[in-house]
Structure 1
Amino acid sequence: MLNFSGEDFDVIVVGAGIMGSSTAYQTSKRGHKTLLLEQFDFLHHRGSSHGESRTIRPTYPQDYYCSMVLESYTLWEQAESEIGYKVSFKASQFDMGPADATNFKALISSCRKNSLPHQVLDKAQVAQKFSGRIHIPEDWVGVSTEYGGVIKPTKAVSMFQTLALKNGAVLRDNMEVKDIKRDGEGGGLVVFTSNGEKFRGKKCVVTVGAWMKKLVKTVIGVEIPIQPLETTVCYWRINEGHETDYAIGGDFPTFASYGEPYVYGTPSLEFPGLIKVAVHGGYACDPDKRPWGPGISLAALKEWIQGRFSGLVDSAGPVATQLCMYSMTPDEDFVMDFLGGEFGKDLVIGGGFSGHGFKMAPVVGRILADLVLSGEAEGVDLKHFRVARFNENPKGNVKAFEDQVGTFQ
Structure 2
Amino acid sequence: MPEAFSGASDFVVVGAGLAGAATAWQLAVRGHQVTILERNVPASHDGSSHGSARIFRYAYPDPFYTRAVVESKGLWDGLSAACGAPLITPFGAVDYGPERNPRLLASVLAGEGIEHELLSAADARARWPQIAFDTEVLWHPGAGVIDAEGAVNAMVGLAVEHGARLLANWELQRVERTGAGYRLHSTTGQTHDAGNVVISAGGWLPALLGQLSLPAGFLAGLPEVTVRQEQAFHFKYRDHAPADHAPKDDASKDDDGGAAPGAGCRPTFIHKAADIQAYGLPGGRDAGFAGQKVAEYNGGKLIPSAARQTGEVDPANRRRVVEYVQRYLPGLDPQPYAETTCLFTNTPNEDFLIDRVDNLTIVSPCSGHGAKFAPLIGQWAADLADGSGGVPDRFRTASPAAVTT
Common fold, TM-score beyond 0.5? yes
Given candidates 343, 347, 351, the residue that maps to 2:364 is 351
Is residue 171 of structure 2 the alignment partner of residue 176 of structure 1? Answer: yes
Matched, 1:279 2:293: no
- Does 1:211 pair with 2:221? no
- Contact 1:191/1:200 (CA < 8 Å) preserved in 2? yes
The one of 327, 338, 352 aligned to 1:334? 352
CA contact (8 A) 1:334 1:351 kept: yes
Q: Which stretch shifts more, 102-111 or 58-67?
A: 102-111
Partner in structure 1 of residue 154 of structure 2: 159
Following the alignment from structure 1 to structure 2, what is the Cα–Cα distance between the partners of residues 88 and 245? 19
CA distance in 2, matches of 1:88, 1:337: 28
Q: What residue number does 2:401 align with?
A: 397
Which aligned pairs between 1:1-400 and structure 2 lie closer than 5 A? 5-98=5-98, 101=99, 104=102, 106-130=104-128, 132-137=129-134, 140-184=135-179, 186=180, 188-219=181-212, 220=214, 222=219, 224=222, 225-239=224-238, 242-245=239-242, 248-259=262-273, 260-267=275-282, 269-270=284-285, 271-281=288-298, 282-286=300-304, 287-295=306-314, 296-309=316-329, 311-315=330-334, 317-338=335-356, 340=357, 343=358, 346-374=359-387, 376-377=389-390, 382-389=392-399, 397-399=401-403
Q: Deviations over 1:174-209 (max 9, x none)?
A: 11112223321x3x2222222222222221111000
Q: Determine helix, strand or coil for the equivalent of 2:264.
A: coil
Gaps of 5+ in 1: 390-395, 405-409
Q: Cα RMSD (Å) of the superposition?
A: 2.2
SS of match in other structure, 1:298? helix
Which amino acid is the alignment partner of residue 370 of structure 2? Answer: G
CA contact (8 A) 1:333 1:385 kept: yes
Pairwise CA distance, 1:251: 3.7
Question: Residue 248 of structure 2 corresponds to which residue in structure 1?
Answer: none
Q: Residue type of the partner of 1:153?
A: A
Deviation of 1:104 (Å): 4.8
Displacement of 1:103: 5.5
Q: Runs of 4 or more off by more than 6 Å in structure 1?
A: none
| Counterpart contact for 2:103–2:118, Cα < 8 Å | no
- Amino acid of the residue matched to residue 62 of structure 1? D
Q: Distance in 2 between matches of 1:39 and 1:272?
A: 30
Percent identity over paired residues: 27
8 Å CA contact retained: 1:191, 1:199: yes
Amino acid at match of 1:22: A
Question: Counterpart of 1:168 in structure 2: which amino acid?
Answer: G
Cα distance change of structure 1 residues 267 and 6 upon mapping to structure 2, 3 Å threshold:
closer
Q: How many residues align?
A: 373
Q: Shift of the alpha carbon at 1:144?
A: 0.6
- Contact 1:12/1:205 (8 A) holds in 2: yes
Q: Which moved more, 1:251-260 or 1:161-170?
A: 251-260
**Gap regions ≥5 residues in structure 2:** 244-260
Partner Cα distance (1:6, 1:218) in 2? 20
Q: TM-score, normalised by structure 2?
A: 0.86
For the Cα contact (< 8 Å) 1:243–1:273, is it kept in 2? no
**Paired AA for residue 302 in structure 1:** V
CA separation in 2, counterparts of 1:154 and 1:46? 12
- Deviation string 1:25-77 (CA, Å, 9 cap, x unpaired) is 11001111100001123332111111231110011123211122122222122
Map of 1:392 onto structure 2: none
- The Cα of 1:107 is off from its aligned counterpart by 2.8
Asked if the contact 1:285/1:291 (under 8 Å) is kept, the reply is no
Report the alpha carbon displacement of residue 6 of structure 1 after superposing the two structures with TM. Answer: 5.0
Q: What CA distance in whole angstroms lies between the structure 2 residues aligned with 1:168 and 1:244?
A: 47
* Aligned equivalents of 2:284, 2:344: Cα separation in 1: 23
Question: CA shift at 1:128, angstroms?
Answer: 2.8
The answer on whether the counterparts of 1:333 and 1:354 sit within 8 Å (CA) in structure 2 is: no
**2:136, 2:47 → 1: CA distance?**
35
